[in-house]
Structure 1
Amino acid sequence: MKIHTVQTIRKIVLYIVVALGVFVFAVTASVYPSGRTVHEMIEWLGIVLIVACILGRTWASLYIGGRKIEEFVQTGPYSVMRNPLYFFSFLGAAGVGMQVGSIALGLICAGLAWLVFHVVVLQEEQVLAGRYGASYRDYLARVPRFLPKPSLWHDEPTLTIRPPRVLMTFADALVFLLAVPLAELFEHLQDTGLIPVLLRLP
């Protein structure tokens, strides 16, 4: 299976999960009343995670942007973890869930994102191992898949940056911010009784 095919499958699965997630988002509320300190603190923590996601994905794209097929990148963020783009997406997914004012929903969203990307990563690793052979298998054995290991950090003196790819990744990551007004809209619709609350989470 080619990397392009794997990435296409990833996008399709991700769209399905996002559509399901929006429905769950709409009918879920926090056990902490809106406007209370705990509720607001969880929402702000979620915003911090979303911003970290946007900045982190943009940073990683400076190294990998458009080069995943052509080159085997293992410097910068790719020196401490194999999939920094996905790692920062987990943070963003958790931040999205927290916009309901629920830590539990944040963890559920991060877990679902991990599940989707884990399946895709297994396919990507097979493709890259076939392409790069022993050097990639050594990388697999040495560098963690998702959790960063800072002691492995090494960089390169110069980078060839492809601005369109970086800007595209930045723009894609900005979508996570839509969760903030969307959560407020659903909360208002729940308060007015236009949509039901089927689930309350801490």
Structure 2
Amino acid sequence: MTATTTNAFDLQRIQKIRKWALGLALLVAVALAFVSASPWIKQPFSEGVESFGLGAIIISIVGRAWCSLYIGGRKKAEVVAMGPYSISRNPLYVFSYFGAFGVGAQTGSVTMGLLFVLIAVAVFHFTIQREEAWLTAEFGPTYTAYTARTPRCGPDLSKWRDEAELTVKPQFFLVTLRDGLVFLLAVPIFESIDWA
């Protein structure tokens, strides 16, 4: 097994662990929502938080899909440094933070929204570190130069650069879109908890 093959396998393993950790954290958070009801349930403030959260989920889905137009199918082949990746090294995760807040906000509680963000930040922190180690090993000085000019999460809008054209692989776009749509499941799940 070559170093590149081993590195690619490690990256797949990291992604699988990240997804399991997020799934487990979501289950714990849903359980917490069952035992802790917001004092604002069915109040205008609570409904406003839920609506704001739905907006955050939509931003997350659209933002993640936008990022996949740039990185879909290229992540293991090159350092992607254009579009959203020119202003943040991890824009997919940044948009996932919006989704995490939106999911938690479906409880009607800003506190739960922030708790979901903290869980996502904790899980992604370790994922980002491992991905950065993989990218450094795989792309060396090219990736090191990218890290020097681009913030980890950012974004730094002054660094925006774009491509004249993009080659899009629809499979990756659709997978990212599907994964993002999962955030919307929070709406019926937490509505059913409200009515339980």
TM superposition score category, shorter chain reference:
over 0.9
What's the CA shift string for 1:126-168, capped at 9, x where partnerless?
A: 0101111112112112211112110000001111101011011
Residue 38 of structure 2: which of 27, 30, 34 is its match?
A: 30
Corresponding residue number in structure 2 for 1:87: 94
TM-score under structure 2 length normalisation: 0.92
Corresponding residue number in structure 2 for 1:56: 63
1:108 aligned onto 2:115: yes
2:111 partner SS = helix
Is the Cα contact below 8 Å between 2:78 and 2:139 reproduced in 1? no
Corresponding residue number in structure 2 for 1:179: 186
1:33 Cα shift? 3.3
Corresponding residue number in structure 1 for 2:162: 155
Corresponding residue number in structure 2 for 1:12: 20
1:31 Cα shift? 1.9
1:20 Cα shift? 1.6
1:120 aligned onto 2:127: yes
Structure 1 consecutive aligned stretches of length 4 or more whose deviation exceeds 3 Å: none
Letter paired with 2:76: I
The 2-side partners of 1:15 and 1:37 are apart by 30
The 2-side partners of 1:43 and 1:147 are apart by 26
Letter paired with 1:132: F
The structure with more helix, counted as a fraction of residues = 2
Structure 1 unmatched ranges of 5 or more: 190-202
Structure 2 unmatched ranges of 5 or more: 1-6
Residue 130 of structure 1: which of 133, 137, 152 is its match?
A: 137
Is the Cα contact below 8 Å between 1:28 and 1:100 reproduced in 2? no
Corresponding residue number in structure 2 for 1:46: 53
TM-score under structure 1 length normalisation: 0.89
Letter paired with 1:26: F
2:29 partner SS = helix
